[in-house]
Amino acid sequence: MIKSIYFMFFVCACLFGLFACSAKAQDKFKNLSSDDFEKLIQDENIQRVDVRTVAEYSQGHIPESLNINVLDDKFSAEADELLDKERPVAVYCKSGRRSRNAARLLTQKGFKVYNLDKGFDNWKESGKDIEL
């Protein structure tokens, strides 16, 4: 009896683990390294979006990027107003966490999205162009 309870617990834990992994695999945006992100944004058709706060953005950002704070309640409305759904969007934040959330929201709205995987900090550490 106790062995069957442990077995069921083990099966449930495994299924939960598989479900958690498959949920992440369903993300419809692509994470890119700093080098790949840099290559991508050479295309003038790509919309560059910094999803950090205004204060963070003002301390330095990727050139020609638009600032739409993902933590702001108006993020979704501003994205609809400022971005063109016909053009791909390249998003980034400080470390990659907020931009992944922004990428999920934007893909749900029908945008094609690319995310800077390790964020602006990694971009700077890689010696990439920044603008103040």
Residue 122 CA, chain-centre distance (Å), reads 14
**Does residue 23 carry a pLDDT above 50?**
no
**SS3 state at 53:** coil
Residue of 5 and 98 predicted with greater confidence = 98
**Does residue 11 carry a pLDDT above 60?**
no
Task: Give residue limits of the domains in the chain.
Answer: 28-125
Q: How far apart are CA 41 and CA 37, in angstroms?
A: 6
Enter the tokens of residue 25: 């695999």
**Does residue 20 carry a pLDDT above 70?**
no
Contacts of 88 (CB under 8 A, 6+ apart): 45, 46, 47, 111, 112, 113, 114
Q: What share of the chain is helix, strand, coil (3-state, %, to 5)?
A: 50, 15, 40
What is the mean pLDDT of the segment spanning 110-121?
97
**SS3 state at 25:** helix
- Torsion sign across C-alpha atoms 6, 10, 11, 12: positive
Cβ atoms 99, 115 nearer than 8 A: yes
**Does residue 37 carry a pLDDT above 60?**
yes
Q: Model-level pTM?
A: 0.81
Alpha-helical regions (H) of 26-118: 34-40, 54-58, 75-82, 97-108
Cβ atoms 99, 110 nearer than 8 A: no
Q: Is 14 a catalytic residue?
A: no
Query: The CATH number of 28-125 is which of 1.20.1740.10, 3.40.718.10, 3.40.250.10, 3.90.930.12?
Result: 3.40.250.10
What's the confidence (pLDDT) of residue 21?
A: 45
Q: Which of 12, 14, 21, 93 is catalytic?
A: 93
